[in-house]
A = this chain, B = another copy of it.
Amino acid sequence: MSPAVATRVVLAVDLGGTTMKGVVVDETGREVADLERPTPTAGVVEALGDLLGELGSVARGQGLTPVGAAVVSPGSVDEGQGVVRYASNLGWRDVPLRDLLEPAVGLPIAVAHDVRTAGLAEWRFGAARGSDDVVLVPIGTGVAAAVVSAGGLVTGATGTAGEFGHIPVVPDGEPCACGQRGCLEVYASGAGVARRYAARTGSVATAREVVARLGSDPDADEVWAEAVTVLARGLAILTLLLDPSVIVLGGGFSHAGEALLVPLGAELRDGLAWRAPPEVAVSRLGDRAGRVGAAVLAFEAAGLGDLVTAWPTS
């Protein structure tokens, strides 16, 4: 059987501090295979090359033709040059990932920032579809933001735009691991809520467990209320500076549902005295957003970006 047009695929990897999640995506946007590997403590570039090689083999074994690839990374990424400028979790500084991987893999490879790429996906296929001014805020262990303005991703002069988790929102507040004080994610993140609950009660609980105790545990109520207040203040700042039509919340925090959205919406309205708040929505693509966005970038790297316009929204 000769490969038909519909057999073109891309290889997309979401590189995290603990796991590398790879998928093979066909030109209709369907994930046709996936592989997951632990991120090694050393030799990450080689491991990435190996994973991309394995994904390519899996694809070819199914009669599919890889045409491009993409790797999305945390940290500070220069998308134009394909260089990871800085990634603390990986111990990377100025790693020319694209130039290192392309010869090994033999495909055009896009390198991009994980959160911005997730924002791209949420904007093209998810909860922010149809709007040209969007902020995606994934809230997990930490907090970041992907900003879309007038239909373009805001990356900044050094590729570090969107460090929403580290904006100072509590003057002289609690210390952050980053070296600053009063950062948003000290209060309003999975790790922040868990740490603050433990500091207050002496008992260990995840943010999800704290949410489950709301209404029956005054300490949980208090820590959560402070998280919501700080997050609302941060969203008010985003709104006033960037005027998005929709803010999309993602990550584990967004699974809190009404316990988050109801008080957050009320506090955001109160914090914006003279303008209406933007819509606040929950991510539709969830954890898949980074990989979906990476697949888009991979098709674009292959010169086949047009195919992506026909992908279904989910």
Name the residue in A159, A168, A241, A244 with the highest tally of chain B Cβ atoms < 10 Å from its Cβ: A241
Which residues of chain B are within 8 angstroms of A159 by Cβ–Cβ distance? 243
A240 lies within 8 A of chain B by Cβ: yes
Report yes or no: B171 in contact with A171, Cβ–Cβ below 8 A: yes
Q: Which residues of B contact A237 (CB under 8 A)?
A: 167-168, 237, 241
Among A217-245, those with CB < 8 Å from B are 233, 236-238, 240-245
Q: A160 to B275, Cβ gap below 8 A?
A: yes
For residue A8, CB closer than 8 A to chain B, the reply is no
Majority SS of interface residues in chain A? loop
What is the bound-complex CA distance between A74 and B155, given in angstroms?
A: 28
Does A123 belong to the interface (CB within 8 Å)?
Answer: no
B242 lies within 8 A of A161 (CB): yes
In the complex, the answer to whether A167 meets B241 with C-beta atoms within 8 Å is yes
CB atoms of B160 and A149 under 8 A apart? no
Q: Does A17 contact B (CB under 8 A)?
A: no
User: A179-B273, A273-B180 in contact; A156/B243 too (CB < 8 A)?
Assistant: yes
Cβ distance A63 to chain B, nearest Cβ, rounded Å: 40
Q: Does A154 contact B (CB under 8 A)?
A: yes
Contact present for A133 and B152 (CB under 8 Å): no
Contacts of A163 in B (CB 8 A): 240-241, 243
Q: Is A266 located at the chain interface by the 8 A CB criterion?
A: no
The contact of A241 among B158, B162, B170, B171, by CB within 8 Å, is B162
- Quick one: given A168-B271, A171-B233, are A157 and B240 in contact (CB under 8 Å)? no
* This protein's copies in its complex: 2
Cα A237 to Cα B238 with chains together (Å) = 10
User: Given that A157-B244, A242-B156 are contacting pairs, would A274 and B178 also be in contact in the complex, using a CB cutoff of 8 Å?
Assistant: yes
Tell me which residues from 160 to 188 in chain A have a Cβ below 8 Å from any Cβ of chain B.
Answer: 160-164, 166-171, 178-180
- Known contacts: A171-B233, A237-B167, A237-B237. The answer to whether A156 contacts B273 by CB under 8 A is no
Return A142 CB to nearest CB of chain B, in Å: 13
A243 pairs with B155, CB closer than 8 A = yes
By CB atoms of chain B within 10 A, which of A132, A238, A240, A278 has the most?
A240
| A64 within 8 Å of B (CB atoms) | no
Contacts A149-B152, A150-B154, A178-B273 given; indicate if A166 touches B243 (C-beta within 8 A): no
With the chains together, A180 CA to B270 CA distance in Å? 8
* Chain A window 22-42, contacts with chain B (Cβ cutoff 8 Å), 1 for yes, 0 for no: 000000000000000000000
Q: Which residues of B lie under 8 Å from residue A164 when comparing CB positions?
A: 240-241
Inter-subunit contact A243/B273 (CB<8 Å):
no
Q: Does A145 contact B (CB under 8 A)?
A: yes
Chain B residues with Cβ below 8 Å from A236 are 167-168
A179 touches B132 (CB 8 A): no
Quick one: closest B residue to A131, CB to CB?
A: B157
A-B contacts, 13 listed (Cβ < 8 Å): A149-B156, A150-B152, A150-B154, A157-B245, A158-B243, A160-B243, A161-B243, A162-B241, A163-B241, A164-B241, A168-B233, A168-B236, A178-B273
